[in-house]
Chain A
């Protein structure tokens, strides 16, 4: 089973600043990584897939990069609605399609 490790567990950033979230796979997953945003009490929402492709309706301040074992989600000019928990997921090797443990993005 591939282990996805996210860092940091909690990230404190001021509004209008940039946030950089990391995700590392225990073995290569090519570019088969997605990023999800989850707000309290809500279902996850797909942000990025195939490591760098924005899902429909996702604003351009969200971007993804990486391949192999190292992946990054960058959010520029943070808005109030961006403070949430973010998960990465690999869908290269399965079952299962493992998720990372999440990064909580909080207001500084």
Chain B
């Protein structure tokens, strides 16, 4: 059974940094592209970033470009999102998700349960 378990969410002050993790199991992690999607409280879904199965290619939504870095450690079956210079409007539940294959430009079949990031002074 495919499982994605996010962790690392916390309450942080504006301008600070945070790293989210997503532990994957039940599949060959190194063969799946991965994505981060976020959802602000009471709002809709927002695509944030994606990374190829090898980690060689990464893509970002404009509002996080230059502040967030997506990465993965295929030896540890773990996806990361390093978030720097956090802003109040980064407050959201962050989901890791996967299309269930190497095609990064595809629907998201597998989702984690999400981790809450709150940016507030």
Contacts and interface: CB of A to CB of B under 8 A. Distances in A.
Interface of A: 1, 32, 34, 36, 38, 42-46, 49-50, 55, 87, 89, 91-92, 94-102
A87 B45 contact: yes
Pick the most buried of B47, B60, B95, B114: most chain A CB atoms within 10 A of its CB.
B47
Contacts of A1: 62
Contacts of B89: none
Nearest to A85: B44
A89 B117 CA distance: 23
B121 to A, nearest CB: 27
B61 interface: yes
Contact of B61 (A46, A50, A89, A96): A96
Interface of B: 35, 37, 44-48, 50, 59-62, 95, 105-109, 111-114
A95 B44 CA distance: 18
Secondary structure dominating the interface of A: loop
A95 B60 contact: yes
Contact of A45 (B48, B59, B111): B111
Contact of B45 (A36, A42, A45, A49): A36
Contacts of A46: 107-109, 111
Contacts of B114: 43
